[in-house]
């Protein structure tokens, strides 16, 4: 017990349940949407070399990394801010723009950190249900915006349901809200998208100063353990976020690793690996549907089995088959795409599940 005041918003925060960590050799760890491959050699070499210098602070705002990211996306360095994973940055954004009691509109179900970040910022989450096929309900999201709305979050591809926003949907979303509302588009899984109709919010930045795009090195770049994410947006907003962000928020080896990951050869290898994962994903999806499962479109490195009340039982069934998946109790199980052998194990387990 403590007499110290804990903010009511913090006392009532929903828990962020991370995907289970691997416990043994034989377990397929498919619970956190990571890449099943190790970091690239050049990236490992850069981070190992940097580790020898950690008696010194890194660059406070990660200037060299910011420069490399700006080059990659053909934007100005003033438009980029890096942070300790994109979750930390989303928190910083909301801390930057939300006053107590403001509304933030978001799709639901989506990434479970969003409602936590919103509550920590003192704001109110306005959850707009996904459509029956797991897509953002763009019209309903726009309709949910009021004079109290400070920001609108979009997640494309959406974690955990799988579909991504088309270019038309993205444009409709950004153009459908007043310019005082910040539209934050989380593109953590965009590297795995293969549907040509899917849009990239970065292409809309030039015309929409109220747009902010979130990216991460945790997924396709195979650097989840390094914790590096970034935002790209209008310089005034980015500068305000920088003033809120934790000083030295990206550690020295993480900065070095991320810079190495942006070298042309590393980027090419990342794209190649992402394509391999996407091909595996499409193979798994086709096989699941042939087994009789209803699976929404999957554009990230994961798929979603919306089994409702059977969620915990299905997760236990996977666990007994040596597969760590991510259950959302009462709603469904999200399974990451792993190596071909791991995916085969998943398909054997889904084939053996009677109730679909």
Q: Which two tokens stand for residue 93?
A: 């954004």
Comparison of 46 and 89: residue with beta carbon closer to ligand PMP: 89
153 binds ligand PMP (CB under 6 A): no
Comparison of 270 and 353: residue with beta carbon closer to ligand PMP: 270
End-to-end CA distance of the chain: 47
Of 50, 94, 145, 155, which lies in the binding site for ligand PMP, with binding defined by CB under 6 A? Answer: 155
Of 97, 116, 188, 259, which lies in the binding site for ligand PMP, with binding defined by CB under 6 A? Answer: 188
327 binds ligand PMP (CB under 6 A): no
Q: Pick left, alpha or beta for residue 292 (phi over 0 → left; psi -120 to 50 → alpha; otherwise beta).
A: left
346 binds ligand PMP (CB under 6 A): no
For residue 176, what are the CA distances in angstroms to 153, 172, 207, 234, 350?
13, 6, 14, 19, 41
Comparison of 198 and 353: residue with beta carbon closer to ligand PMP: 198
Of 96, 149, 161, 216, which lies in the binding site for ligand PMP, with binding defined by CB under 6 A? Answer: 216
Q: Give the residue from 203, 215, 353, 219 showing the smallest Cα distance to 278.
A: 219
Mask 49-88, x = binds ligand PMP (CB under 6 A)?
------------------------------------xxx-
336 binds ligand PMP (CB under 6 A): no
Q: Which two tokens stand for residue 107?
A: 């799709």
Helix (H, G, I), strand (E, B) or coil at 296: coil
229 binds ligand PMP (CB under 6 A): yes
Helix (H, G, I), strand (E, B) or coil at 277: helix
332 binds ligand PMP (CB under 6 A): no
218 binds ligand PMP (CB under 6 A): yes
DSSP 80-137: EEEESSHHHHHHHHHHHHPPTT-EEEEEES--THHHHHHHHTT-EEEEEEPPTTS---
111 binds ligand PMP (CB under 6 A): yes
162 binds ligand PMP (CB under 6 A): no
186 binds ligand PMP (CB under 6 A): yes
Spatial distance between the Cα atoms of 276 and 266, rounded to a whole number of angstroms: 15
Binding site for ligand PMP (CB under 6 A): 33, 85-87, 111, 155, 159, 186, 188, 216, 218, 224, 229
């Amino acid at each position: 017990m403590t007499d110290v005041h804990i903010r009511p918003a913090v006392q009532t925060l929903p828990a962020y349940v991370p995907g289970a960590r691997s416990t043994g050799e034989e377990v397929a760890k498919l619970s956190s949407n990571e890449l099943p491959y190790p970091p690239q050699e050049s990236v490992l070499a850069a981070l190992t070399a940097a580790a020898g210098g950690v008696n010194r602070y890194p660059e406070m705002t990660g200037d060299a990394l910011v420069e490399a990211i700006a080059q990659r996306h053909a934007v100005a360095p003033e438009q980029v801010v890096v942070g300790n994973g994109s979750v930390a940055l989303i928190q910083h954004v909301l801390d930057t723009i939300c006053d107590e009691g403001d509304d933030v509109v978001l799709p639901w179900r989506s990434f479970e950190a969003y409602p936590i970040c919103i509550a920590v910022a003192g704001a109110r989450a306005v959850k707009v249900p996904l459509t029956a096929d797991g897509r953002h309900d763009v019209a309903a999201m726009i309709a949910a915006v009021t004079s109290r709305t400070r920001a609108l979050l979009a997640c494309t591809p959406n974690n955990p349901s799988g579909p991504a926003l088309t270019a038309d949907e993205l444009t409709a979303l950004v153009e459908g809200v007043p310019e005082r509302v910040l539209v934050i588009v989380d593109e953590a899984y965009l590297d795995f998208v293969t549907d040509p109709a899917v849009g990239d919010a970065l292409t809309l930045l030039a015309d929409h100063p109220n747009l902010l795009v979130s990216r991460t090195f945790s997924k396709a770049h195979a650097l989840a353990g390094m914790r590096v994410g970034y935002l790209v947006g209008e310089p005034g907003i980015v500068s305000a976020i920088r003033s809120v962000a934790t000083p030295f928020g990206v550690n020295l080896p993480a900065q070095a690793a991320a810079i190495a990951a942006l070298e042309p050869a590393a980027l090419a290898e990342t794209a190649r690996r992402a394509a391999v994962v996407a091909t595996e994903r499409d193979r798994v999806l086709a096989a699941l549907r042939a087994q009789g499962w209803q699976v929404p479109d999957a554009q990230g490195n994961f798929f979603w089995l919306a089994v409702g009340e059977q969620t915990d039982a299905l997760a236990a069934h996977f666990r007994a088959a040596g597969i760590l998946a991510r259950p959302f109790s009462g709603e469904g199980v999200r399974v990451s795409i792993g190596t071909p052998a791991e995916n085969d194990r998943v398909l054997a387990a889904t084939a053996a599940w009677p109730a679909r």
